[in-house]
Amino acid sequence: MSGQPAEQKLWGGRFTGATDPLMNLYNASLPYDKKMYSQDLEGTRVYTMGLEKLGLITPEELKEIHRGLEIIKTEWSNGKFIEKDGDEDIHTANERRLGEIIGKNISGKVHTGRSRNDQVATDMRLYVRDELIKISKILKNLIETMIKRAEKEINILMPGYTHLQRAQPIRWSHWISMYATYFTEDYKRLLQIIDRLNVSPLGCGALAGHPYGIDREFIAKELNFNGCIGNSLTAVSDRDFVVETMFWSSLFMNHISRFSEDLIIYSSGEFGFIQLADAYSTGSSLMPQKKNPDSLELLRGKSGRVFGNLAGFMMSLKSIPSTYNKDMQEDKEPLFDAMLTIEHSILIATGVISTLTPNKEKMESSLSMDMLATDLADYLVRKGVPFRETHHISGECVRKAEVDKLSGIDQLTIEQFKEIDSRFDDDVFDTFNFEQSVERRDATGGTAKSAVLKQLKALSDVLN
């Protein structure tokens, strides 16, 4: 690439010498910000409507500008837009092409009172809004898929874990509901971010405001913004919505990573609780028996990539002085990468959860009677014994079964139970039932069938 004559650049009037070719490359953002072509053209379309209201362009000129913008949009969408040397960014490329179509006498008016500072801020907000709305829809579909699966398979029991040690029996649907709850909270946060970013910076110029008194409220309404950013300095320099989006992405990917880790463990030969569909697994180049959960491992791995995008941009942003600085160009690549990774991750997670096969027999055979030790303590609580005392008594029963090398505490005789505590009766053996154990936990948030269905209904209500 050769040095570009300064007079061809939007900012070239001050400069007489050519730019270092490497600087042209280093400075350019078109390779990645051209994905905002539609938002850039829409911002110009509405902005010129505001200029026409001021009488700075005529109705005929406005019509011609809009005709040119439609042609450019078609060229981009059809892959026929020709990029040229000197197209630093999407704004420069679109304005250059508009001049070729309708002539520079008219196209030269579209930037009146506008700066690339408020233009890029507008493009970014429009683009991020559109992308996050799309992401919210596929995230909603993921949650709905999980809810349907949980409702269908609500009768499957499995071990619940703390410290990755078997703890108490739960429903498979209760496990699904846990992550559906995480993702629903993510969904709610996402809608809040969309609402917060949906304010217009357009009409603030480079930093000091608009010299011709353009109707910013009119422009905001036409672009479907909820209002205007109230300070011109803030308007051109604010990238909090970028940080929020990447933070949201990081938090969501944290949930996806934990979801994936659980399923990786459950799909292992040692657990065998689930089997992944072939579409989301791969084999080994050496060992023909292997079925690897690559989809889940990639979901887990890509979380680090998204976290890194956030950390990197925060380091770029933290010491920038007020208003616009070129450092802010570093917002696009990590943001775009994070949003694309999120979109793909949600789609993969939806595919995984909708096609995996649970192994009911394996899950339920992994339940063991020691997991009912708390139920044994609760049995005595219902007879009026303080829980701290019953906890100790139940522990004594577990120890006795271990010392006698019994398969479980349910194998103790009633005489052995009474030796430990005389308040045990014959009905103690009713405690050793996994289905009854989960059904006893019917308070809100519990793993009883009624409680799980209540959870799923509440999640559905949020989505609707």
Catalytic residue among 284, 322, 407, 450: 284
Q: Hey, how many other C-beta atoms are within 10 angstroms of the C-beta on 237?
A: 21
Q: In Å, what is the CA distance from 215 to each residue of 67, 73, 270, 418?
A: 23, 25, 66, 85
Residue listed under structure tokens 């001049």? 99
Q: For residue 286, what is the DSSP state?
A: S
- Comparing CA positions, the residue from 199, 190, 180 lying closest to residue 133 is 190
Query: Considering 66, 77, 111, 163, which one is annotated as catalytic?
Result: 163
Radius of gyration, alpha carbons of the chain? 31
Q: Is 275 helix (H, G, I), strand (E, B) or coil?
A: strand
Residue whose tokens read 């103690």 = 428
Query: Which has the closest alpha carbon to 107: 79, 67, 74, 50?
Result: 67
What is the bridge-based pairing of β-strands 274-275 and 357-358?
antiparallel
DSSP lists the bridge partners of residue 200 as 228
What tokens appear for 346 in the block? 């949600």
Which one-letter amino acid corresponds to residue 15?
F
Q: Which amino acid, one-letter code, is at 217?
A: E
Catalytic residue flag (residue 284): yes
Q: Of the candidates 236, 167, 175, 241, which has an alpha carbon nearest to the alpha carbon of residue 201?
A: 236
Residue 127 tokens read as 């683009």
Long-range contacts formed by 226-233: CB under 8 A, 24+ apart: 226/195, 226/198, 226/199, 227/199, 227/200, 228/199, 228/200, 228/201, 228/203, 229/199, 229/200, 229/201, 229/204, 232/204, 232/205, 232/207, 232/208, 233/207, 233/322, 233/323
Residue numbers annotated as active site: 163, 284
